[in-house]
Structure 1
């Protein structure tokens, strides 16, 4: 009887622990930690709902979440070529998104306190992204905002999909 009761108590405690938000959050944090390779990157314009591959059909990139709660995020456009002139070097900025900082998770969102970025305006800001995890897929959705790379399109949001990699 005592053994059965002890097992029931342990099972009940395990069940209760699984329902505690802090433990669920720790589970999500463990699930995002690692290296994710870019699969697709679309930008949706708020004004008319059009979606476009803002950095081409085959952009490249990665996001890395470390156990120490730092994120490294880099996306580059399709077909980038070495620059020879100042104008070409400036144009390369239109096909780059890159930042790093400490991150925190809150449910289906992560917020990065940016301390390094391709655009200095982002340094010192907090960037929040919604995400979903589906097996080895991480889908990221930005809030509506005017993105420095395509400000002429007005408010946009990015829809970015990554796949877990072991590289």
Structure 2
């Protein structure tokens, strides 16, 4: 128990040192609602490079329901209607979309996906770290090989939202 409390204290101290406050039970209700995508960066583990893989002005939303379901639809900047199979396939590289039930655990949530743009994600658990600062939600994924930019190797996404108008 003491080790867990010390570890939790260190995580909280690290979050505070980074300028973010850990989410407390009283803050959980602040996550519920509509969030508009502001930016989507990917950090490459191998070299630390940060890339705006969805462009400078991506579009999309995240919605967390009071019933503990989350929906994400995120699209890259400059998407155009496809006329060929190759163009339709290329559009998948600028789309992230999924839904599932979620549970909160401090400054992270885990979503159990039952729908996803990439069928490999259906049935998986996706955990995200997050901070809430005013009307901003900042999301950080764990290191993984993302289907959309697998050629980059292990990456993590740094996604920023602002509170949407419902």
TM-score normalised per structure 1:
0.84
Question: Could you tell me how far apart the structure 2 residues matched to 1:25 and 1:36 are?
Answer: 19
Higher-Rg structure is 1
Could you tell me how far 1:155 is from its partner in structure 2? 0.2
Q: Which has the higher helix share?
A: 1
TM-score normalised per structure 2:
0.85
2:151 equivalent in structure 1: 152
Question: Could you tell me how far apart the structure 1 residues matched to 2:165 and 2:55 are?
Answer: 25
Deviation sequence 1:5-33 (CA, Å, 0-9, x none): xxxxxxxxxxxxxxxxxxx8542321100
Task: Decide whether the 8 Å contact of 1:25 with 1:106 is kept in 2.
Answer: no
SS at match of 1:29: helix
Gaps of 5+ in 2: 1-22
Question: Could you tell me how far apart the structure 2 residues matched to 1:134 and 1:25 are?
Answer: 13
SS at match of 1:79: coil
Tell me the matched-pair count.
Answer: 144
2:62 equivalent in structure 1: 63
Gaps of 5+ in 1: 1-23
| RMSD of aligned Cα (Å) | 1.0
Task: Decide whether the 8 Å contact of 1:25 with 1:105 is kept in 2.
Answer: no
Question: Could you tell me how far apart the structure 1 residues matched to 2:42 and 2:151 are?
Answer: 13
